[in-house]
Structure 1
Amino acid sequence: MKKFMKRIIKKLSILFAVGYTTVDELKKHGATVGENCYLYTNKIDLPHAHLIQIGNHVTISDARLLAHDASTKRALGYTRVGRIVIGDNVFIGAGALVLPNVAIGNDVVIGAGAVVASDIPSNSVAVGSPAKVICTYESFIEKNIELMKSGKVYDTHYSQKSSEDIRKMQDDLMDGGIGFDI
């Protein structure tokens, strides 16, 4: 009986994609995931993970990837499905949603809360709902390099910060402005 219940719970958690998704879980469910990928508190469509391809050097931060759209299920008896292809060197911000049949190119930043309903070309920064390209990745990085030159840069990883480091960061950024942390 115990084994049977464990199997049911496992199947239900896969069916409803309960919990956060790890790289190992994605691969186990058929997704292709490149090297040096980080998934932070994400909800990714495990039942359709075989339709998801993630390149190298990708960070997905508290986002959702949906390779299916069940809006047609009641009327048609079928759910629409489509691939999600994410290129190399991509960052997907917190609260973003990537919908089925979308390709995100290489060297891309998807802003927090963006809804990606159509392809995003390489060398882009896209934000909003629906996600729209606002600048090139290259210009985004150049702008932030300039900000680093005049801003505050903190060289201690957050997990290694002392209370003094934390206080200094709080004081430095109290009146606004931007800083850069490892």
Structure 2
Amino acid sequence: MRIKDKIIDRIREILTGGANIEKLKKRGLKVGNNLWLGYGVSIDWTFCELITIGNNCTITSKVHILAHDASTKKHLGYTKIGRVNIGDNVFIGVSTIILPNVQIGDNSIIASGSVVTRNVPMNEVWGGNPAKKICSLDEYLNKHSSQSVITQEDWADENRRKNIIDSWEKNNSEMKYIE
């Protein structure tokens, strides 16, 4: 491939929103089945062979997964690298940053805007900067299981959607949306 074509491909990747999983897999990224990636996900291109993503994971928009830390390069002459292992059935919220040497356990949820600097055990919900445990997965699911349910049909119908919005304004509560 000519250099001009490589540059055009790279610009296209950037403009269309980030990680090209197929290219990263060819470079060594390990990915399970049924991965959903949002817009603008960035996966460490240089050290992608140190990253593993399990089955049935959702990685939402603008998430950064890093397997290196170059903060030591200028002063000490080296870059730190480390593995990142994301387990099965993990949800990672918008604009999260995952740093090197981190394992995220199966069935865990990482809240939007988190900076994950240490291991997350399985079946836990973590968030913040630096990320810390918020609650267990069971506690989180129990808390959210009693909310009102909205279907696609409800939201698609203009009158029902207006009633839903009015209800929110009166009750100031969360609702569930089922696709």
TM-score range, shorter chain: 0.7 to 0.9
SS at match of 1:125: strand
**Aligned 8 A contact 1:59 1:90 in 2:** yes
Q: 1:43 to 1:162 in 2, by over 3 A?
A: farther
Q: CA deviation at 1:172?
A: 2.9
What is the aligned length? 174
Q: CA deviation at 1:11?
A: 6.6
Instruction: Give 1:167's match in structure 2, choosing from 154, 162, 165.
Output: 162
SS at match of 2:6: helix
SS at match of 2:103: strand
Aligned to 1:109: 109
Q: CA deviation at 1:45?
A: 1.3
TM-score, with length taken from structure 2: 0.84
CA distance in 1, matches of 2:3, 2:35: 34
More off after superposition, 166-175 vs 74-83: 166-175
Aligned to 1:132: 132
Q: 1:61 to 1:157 in 2, by over 3 A?
A: farther
Q: Give the letter for the 1:24 counterpart.
A: E
Question: Any unmatched runs of 5+ in structure 1?
Answer: none
Question: Any unmatched runs of 5+ in structure 2?
Answer: none
Aligned to 1:30: 28
Q: CA deviation at 1:13?
A: 8.4
SS at match of 2:47: helix
Q: Kindly report the root-mean-square deviation, in angstroms, between the aligned alpha carbons of the 2 structures.
A: 2.6
Aligned to 2:177: 181
Aligned to 1:66: 66
More off after superposition, 45-54 vs 26-35: 26-35
CA distance in 2, matches of 1:143, 1:131: 20
Q: Deviations for 1:139-158, whole angstroms, at most 9, x for unmatched residues?
A: 2112211x23xx2x112179
Q: Deviations for 1:111-170, whole angstroms, at most 9, x for unmatched residues?
A: 11111000011111111111111211122112211x23xx2x112179x83444543432
Structure 1 residues 146-165: aligned runs within 5 Å: 147-148=146-147, 151=148, 153-156=149-152, 161-165=156-160
Q: 1:179 to 1:123 in 2, by over 3 A?
A: same
Q: 1:47 to 1:168 in 2, by over 3 A?
A: farther
Q: 1:44 to 1:53 in 2, by over 3 A?
A: same
CA distance in 1, matches of 2:29, 2:8: 22
**Aligned 8 A contact 1:22 1:39 in 2:** no
Q: 1:6 to 1:36 in 2, by over 3 A?
A: same
TM-score, with length taken from structure 1: 0.83
Q: Is it true that 1:87 corresponds to 2:87 in the alignment? A: yes
**Aligned 8 A contact 1:97 1:113 in 2:** yes
Q: Give the letter for the 2:51 counterpart.
A: I
Q: Give the letter for the 1:111 counterpart.
A: A
